[in-house]
Structure 1
Amino acid sequence: MSRQRDDQPTGEFPGDSGSRPAAPPPPAPGGSSRGSGRGLLVVLGAAALAVVALLGLQTTNLLPNFRNPFAEEQTDRTGPTLLKSIQDLSRYVAAEGNFQVVVDLENDRRNVPDFLLGERTLFVGAGSVEAYVDFAKIGEGAVVPTEDGTSVEIKLPAPELGKTNLDMEKSYVVARERGLLNRIGDLVDGDPNRQQQVYRMAEERITTAARDSGLADRAQENTRKMLEQLLGSLGYDKVTVTYTAP
């Protein structure tokens, strides 16, 4: 019998047939990117849950409030309010008029284009004017009752118009056009009182409108009705009110 060679494979171990073990299958296309994408989603979800939990704890006052390091802060350095004067008033405000005016103010230079040097402001001004009777100006003998006490005659000073009160909460600038040199001048040396001219013009227009609106006549009528009701309750059957010239 012939002897087997020592270098020949035997059947004592698996794979002795000479065949090599099969290689593992290659990963599916995109499998690695899908796995990393899922991991990123898990991390983001955990971070979101942590933020929600911290906000919940802050809402329930279990944690101190977080302060924004870039939050806007306001510092009030206003000094104490000084009392300048006290004035006793004896005015009876009998009527009030509310007005609105559109001011279109333009300032320019001759022979200079507006785009280079010029300014135009469109401003809507809202204000009110009171009409009052100053009882402090009533002189002696202004109230003359009859002997039987059934009627009385009262002489009052004519109603006056108060100062125009421009309501800045209801007033606003619609449009403002400025030339190139005006814009440069504002950057170098801005005038904080520039709008005062527009405000004064609005007040002047409202004052003029109040004088022409019959507001003083309404004040006369309202004052007369007030005195008739007041003195009528005191037993006077007839109340005559006359006004002196202003």
Structure 2
Amino acid sequence: MATSPDVDEPTREYPPVPEDRKPSGFARLLIFVGFVFALIVLACLGLRAINVLPTFDNPFEDKTVDRSQPVLLQSMRDLNRYVAADGTFQVIVDLQQDKENVPDFLINRRTLFLGSGSVEAYVDFGALAGDALKIDEEKKSIELTLPPPEQSTAALDMAKSYVVAEERGALTAIGDAFRNDPNQQQRVYQLAQERITQAARDSGLDQRAKENTQRMLESLFARLGYTTVTVTFANP
């Protein structure tokens, strides 16, 4: 069958690749090494997934060392307190320390602290006088005179207390870089305790402590067979 002179013969073989397009020996080596490395990584991941290989920890992971000293018992005492009520309070302490006639952007320290603490109101039965208790067995009545309720100093809950914000002047920040003032935080904590303690005194916590103590004593003596229980609190 004759072919047209304008139509080329079908190619029977692939045309040879030019020498400049063939990968060099170094490139072929890199490809081979990369392929082998990928196979090794995949094999290790597979063996580690089925717990054949041991796990290796991160050599740069965080490490915490506890060098705290043993707890030292300083004192122990017996308590005769009946805790009749307690209250939980929150206060925002805004404490600023600066210098007169010096701009705040140079020397200034302002701390905004949210303090959360609790105060207990208790009656100290250890302070009862000798004639505090009067019992009439015939009438089944009791008269009891108690000391006034007292309040404990506010105990800060550090899990719920934190610094909201802190501002420092330029010179103050430079000074803090060379020295640390641990008493600064202590002043903020102390101020929060004082504010909460004062707020508890004005909150009516003492009155609630009186009512709870009276109900507790009435219930206690009623179980002992007394029908009339009179509880009186001395003046503070």
The TM-score with structure 1 as length reference comes to 0.80
> Structure 2 CA distance, aligned partners of 1:87 and 1:202?
27
How many residues were matched structurally? 221
Residue ranges of structure 2 left out of the alignment (5+ in a row): 1-11
The correspondence for 1:88, drawn from 78, 94, 101, is: 78
The offset of 1:147, in angstroms, is 3.9
Establish whether residue 208 from structure 1 lines up as the match of residue 198 from structure 2: yes
Which one-letter code corresponds to 2:48 in the other structure? L
- For residue 194 of structure 1, give the secondary structure of its aligned residue in structure 2: helix
Cα offsets for 1:109-130 (capped at 9, x unmatched)? 1111111110111110000000
The correspondence for 1:158, drawn from 143, 148, 151, is: 148
- For residue 211 of structure 2, give the secondary structure of its aligned residue in structure 1: helix
- For residue 184 of structure 2, give the secondary structure of its aligned residue in structure 1: coil
> Structure 2 CA distance, aligned partners of 1:183 and 1:47?
53
Q: Contact between 2:44 and 2:53, CA under 8 Å: does it hold in 1?
A: no
The correspondence for 1:78, drawn from 59, 64, 68, is: 68
- For residue 76 of structure 2, give the secondary structure of its aligned residue in structure 1: coil
Establish whether residue 100 from structure 1 lines up as the match of residue 93 from structure 2: no
Percent of residue pairs identical: 52
The offset of 1:51, in angstroms, is 3.6
Which one-letter code corresponds to 1:163 in the other structure? T
> Structure 1 CA distance, aligned partners of 2:59 and 2:137?
83
Of 39-48 and 139-148, more deviation after overlay is shown by 39-48
Which one-letter code corresponds to 1:49 in the other structure? L
Establish whether residue 122 from structure 1 lines up as the match of residue 94 from structure 2: no
What CA RMSD, in Å, does the superposition of the two structures yield over aligned residues?
2.8
Establish whether residue 56 from structure 1 lines up as the match of residue 49 from structure 2: yes
Residue ranges of structure 1 left out of the alignment (5+ in a row): 1-21
Larger radius of gyration: 1
The residue aligned with 2:6 is: none
- For residue 90 of structure 2, give the secondary structure of its aligned residue in structure 1: strand
The residue aligned with 1:167 is: 157
> Structure 2 CA distance, aligned partners of 1:187 and 1:23?
78
> Structure 1 CA distance, aligned partners of 2:150 and 2:197?
12
The correspondence for 1:179, drawn from 169, 179, 188, is: 169
> Structure 1 CA distance, aligned partners of 2:101 and 2:40?
67
Cα offsets for 1:75-109 (capped at 9, x unmatched)? 22222222111100110000000000011111111
The TM-score with structure 2 as length reference comes to 0.84
The offset of 1:225, in angstroms, is 0.3
> Structure 1 CA distance, aligned partners of 2:179 and 2:34?
56
Q: Contact between 2:48 and 2:54, CA under 8 Å: does it hold in 1?
A: no
The residue aligned with 1:234 is: 224
